[in-house]
Structure 1
């Protein structure tokens, strides 16, 4: 009889253990299914860029960013980053000087070892780092977000959309793009109304040296918003076309937009663009006589172009020229 009772008790205990193990396996299985489902929920994003093609299959958690315009975009979209170029941060992005962000070197000299130590799962570059694309790609998937200057505004909006897809913040990005569209429409309408038939010239001043930029250049926003270029044949290279003050006088722009490179990079002892331009040749132009020489914020135009805040501020500066 005792054996029978013991056998029954043993059977019950064994059954309980089996059930308990079964529940544990079910819970473990459910957890695994949940994790798998969460991973499967991420929709892979394929980015085709000037230097190659990258497919991102998981949401990046550790991101290294060289391009200041993209850092601006990610900041606006509230996407965290792991590493930035601290030596070139403009004031409005100075929060990234914090120790919690890694320093990844210079805009033209990446710190490959430092980047490797951050264990990034995505690296974002632009034109200044193109020569290091292969080296960076060996560390982590790398995308080049260099702008298409011939389609300046649309190119920035495309970058915003791509980054939104990668980091799953599409709703926020849609709001941002809508704000940009509104500012573009307002500025374009004002320029069409107030400056129709007027011609503009964009120049980069660098301690007495001057380069001019036309449609399709890195400073093509002026043309994209509706200003007619004073010279459509200008070289559209990154460094523009070297000119003298005689050229400005000869072309006689109605609006002269000036970017001071020395101010942007903090060159000590350099003469300001305004000091260089206030000479008799420039004073002979319609732009000077009508008070239409506009000194643009070089931080936005030279260093951080291609961002959300930078683009909105740049649009406002061009818009203000005709207010």
Structure 2
């Protein structure tokens, strides 16, 4: 009897041992299936840009964005940002980034290096306003310069967006958003070509007027949207070419596009609003005024945050909607 119990006991013991071995043999399968994902998140990529190149891991987690156009693109793509330039005027459509949960990394032209360094960011995105601070920022974390080239706006804009797609694995979503913008631009082009109308773009700043032509800051209206300039000889300068009401009356554009800097300048006197400056006795003699074709553009998109998926799409849609072809 004891022998039978011993045999039975040994049989049960062997069964338990065999099951345990089987379980141990199966265990490596779980990490093996996760290996490709782990490799992907730790993949290092090199991004070349105008100021140099940045080496960083794909899908960086702690992100600082000084450029509002890049910020609106990251937000559109569902990518969380940690640090924002809250000391400058954040556009209303990005108002959520004023929240205290986002680190204030300074102003657009005055980065707070101490705060940025304390964050230990994985990547920093900058554009033209922060170019002088590039070297210092790049010492803190890989810093990528994503500015828009006004002479080839859409080409450089698309390159920037595709760069974001590569960094965050959002290539398909970027392509989808770019296709929507392309469609809006195509519609404007077709209508502009058919109309044969021309236009003048002016910035109003505290009662002063500056004109912008093809290849300029707001040149997307001519170069990309296809609306002919009333004056092809406007000098391409960062702050535009200084002009007068007499100049606008003399050129007599079919459309007058107006960017009001006062909208984004909290200190500007209300008495120098764009409408009060523009709609004077001289400019009232133009075709643009007489036909109701003075278009006051949304300065938050055009002045503060151009070059973003949201802002660029909104700029094209605004012209498509507001212009009476």
What's the TM-score, normalizing by structure 2?
0.86
230-239 or 68-77, which deviates more: 230-239
Report the equivalent of 1:218.
Answer: 217
Report the equivalent of 2:96.
Answer: 95
Report the equivalent of 1:145.
Answer: 146
Report the equivalent of 1:8.
Answer: none
Matches within 5 A, 1:103-118: 103-118=104-119
Report the equivalent of 2:324.
Answer: 322
Distance 1:312 1:237 in 2: 25
Distance 1:303 1:247 in 2: 27
Distance 1:215 1:299 in 2: 21
**Deviation by residue 1:225-248 (Cα, 9 ceiling, x = unmatched):** 011112222222221111111211
Report the equivalent of 1:40.
Answer: 39
Q: CA deviation at 1:34?
A: 6.8
Counting matched residue pairs gives 305
Matches within 5 A, 1:242-253: 242-253=242-253
Distance 2:265 2:206 in 1: 12
Report the equivalent of 2:296.
Answer: 295
Q: CA deviation at 1:174?
A: 1.7
Distance 1:44 1:178, change over 3 A: farther
Distance 1:235 1:36 in 2: 57
Matches within 5 A, 1:1-323: 31=31, 37-41=36-40, 44-87=44-87, 88-194=89-195, 196=196, 198-223=197-222, 224-270=224-270, 271-319=272-320, 320-323=322-325
SS of 1:86's equivalent?
A: coil
Distance 1:267 1:153 in 2: 33
Distance 1:65 1:290, change over 3 A: same
Distance 1:45 1:102 in 2: 26
Structure 2: runs of 5+ lacking an equivalent: 1-12
Q: Does the 8 A contact of 1:39 with 1:58 survive in 2?
A: no
Distance 1:137 1:28 in 2: 41
Q: CA deviation at 1:47?
A: 2.4
162-171 or 231-240, which deviates more: 231-240
Q: Does the 8 A contact of 1:66 with 1:84 survive in 2?
A: yes
240-249 or 64-73, which deviates more: 240-249
Q: Does the 8 A contact of 2:206 with 2:268 survive in 1?
A: no
Q: CA deviation at 1:274?
A: 0.6
Q: Does the 8 A contact of 1:191 with 1:322 survive in 2?
A: no
Q: Does the 8 A contact of 1:245 with 1:281 survive in 2?
A: yes
Distance 1:76 1:283 in 2: 41
Q: CA deviation at 1:44?
A: 4.4
